[in-house]
Amino acid sequence: MSALLEVSGVSVTFDGFRAINNLSFSIGAQELRAIIGPNGAGKTTFMDIVTGKTRPDTGSVTFGERSVSLLSLSEAQIARAGVGRKFQRPTVFEDQTVAENLTMALKAHRAPWRVLFWKERPEDRTRVEALAQEVGLADHLPRKAGELSHGQKQWLEIGMLLAQEPRLLLVDEPAAGMTLAEREHTTALLVEMAKTRAVVVVEHDMEFVRRLNCKVTVLHEGAVLAEGSLDHVTKNQQVIEVYLGRG
């Protein structure tokens, strides 16, 4: 199986602090992966590198069948190449309606001129409604996103990610602030999404990771400490010391 995303030998230093230290990571085109690790392990920096927000000092990041280097692309170009990102706290555009939020995220031309002359086709509308249905916001399309509850905003953001149709999805702590029922819904959705694309989930919550039932990568001090099934990594003595032991 060829990898969709290939990160190799990447290092980043912030003011002398080595946030990512010779990190290598790869994920296949239809794979669910959980990344765990203590605070400061470099989880968020890793996502920043893949999405183009942070430039690594050394190493390479390639994406897709043609192994396009993401290091020379802007954030917007990386997003258009097919990398979607969900932030820890829900970031939706609160001043705009649910429908507008979803419409903006729909896969379509992104150039200003094309967007200016963009007209909604019936299939766009059907797609927006289907997405809203999928994330349980079908009755809230005309409402402003700012009026939604925290959990609903999380759902809206997930809906926007689905609308983007990314090939690789990076999800930062999706379960944060969700109720038990919402967590179960989220788990099912992530597993479902990973059937057609690569999904990387960064999570603190072990229970949630166990539910995902996927391969786990443990980060520590900016490098991969262990990789494998959750049972495998939780038996690893080093992992127990740095992460689970603090419990």
Partner 1 sequence: MTRQTSVERSFLAKNPSVLWFILILALFTLGVTVLSEAYGVAFLSTSFVKTLGKTLCLCLVALAMDLIWGYAGILSLGHMAFFALGGYMLGMWLMYARTEEIVVAALAQGGLPATPEEIGQGIAVQIFGVVGASELPPIWVFAHSFWAQLALVVAVPGVLALVFGWLAFRSRVTGVYLSILTQAMTLALALYLFQNDSGLRGNNGLSGLQNMPGLAEVSQDRVSVWFFWASALALGLGYVLLAWVVSGKFGSVIRAIRDDEQRVRFLGYSVEGYKLFVFTLTAVIAAIAGALYYPQAGIINPAELAPIASIYLAVWVAIGGRGRLYGAVIGAAFVSLLSSWFTGGRAPSVPLGFYTINWVDWWLVLLGLSFVAVTLFAPKGIGGVFDLWQGVRAPDRKGAALGPDDGALMEKEAKE
List residues binding partner 1 (CB under 8 A): 51, 53, 74-77, 79-80, 84-85, 87, 91, 93-97, 99-100, 103-105, 110-113, 115-116, 118-120, 125, 128-129, 141-144, 147, 160, 164
Question: Would you say 81 or 224 has its CB closer to partner 1?
Answer: 81
For 193-205, what is the HEC assignment?
Answer: HCCCCEEEEECCC
Asked if 160 contacts 92 with a C-beta cutoff of 8 angstroms, the reply is: yes
- Which residue, 174 or 242, has its beta carbon nearer to partner 1? 174
Torsion over CA: 140, 167, 201, 53 (sign) = negative
Beta strands in the chain (DSSP E): 3-14, 17-28, 32-36, 58-63, 68-69, 83-86, 168-172, 198-202, 215-220, 223-228
> Considering beta carbons, is residue 116 or 180 the nearer one to partner 1?
116
- Shortest spacing between CB 75 and partner 1, in angstroms: 4
Q: Which residue's CB is nearer to partner 1, number 3 or number 104?
A: 104
What is the pairing mode between strands 3-14 and 58-63? antiparallel
Residue 159 Cβ, how far from partner 1 at the closest point, in Å? 13
Instruction: Provide the minimum distance between the beta carbon of 18 and partner 1 in the complex, in angstroms, as a whole number.
Output: 24
Closest CB to partner 1 among residues 1, 111 = 111
**Residue 99 — φ and ψ, nearest 5°?**
-60, -40
For the chain, the farthest-separated pair of C-alpha atoms sits apart, in whole angstroms, at: 59
> Closest separation between CB of residue 144 and partner 1, Å?
7
* Minimum distance, C-beta of residue 127 to partner 1, in the bound complex (Å): 12
Q: Which helix (H) or strand (E) holds 125?
A: helix 122-134
Q: Which of 37, 43, 41, 47 is nearest to 5 (CA)?
A: 47
From the CB of 109, what's the least distance to partner 1, in Å?
Answer: 10
Nearer to partner 1 among residue 132 and residue 209 (C-beta): 132
Distance of CA 174 to the CA centre of its chain: 9
Backbone phi, psi, residue 206, to 5°: -65, -40
Under 8 Å between Cβ of 42 and 230: no
Of residues 99 and 223, the one with the C-beta less far from partner 1: 99
Least Å distance between CB 31 and partner 1? Answer: 21
Token pair of 57 as six digits: 């000092």
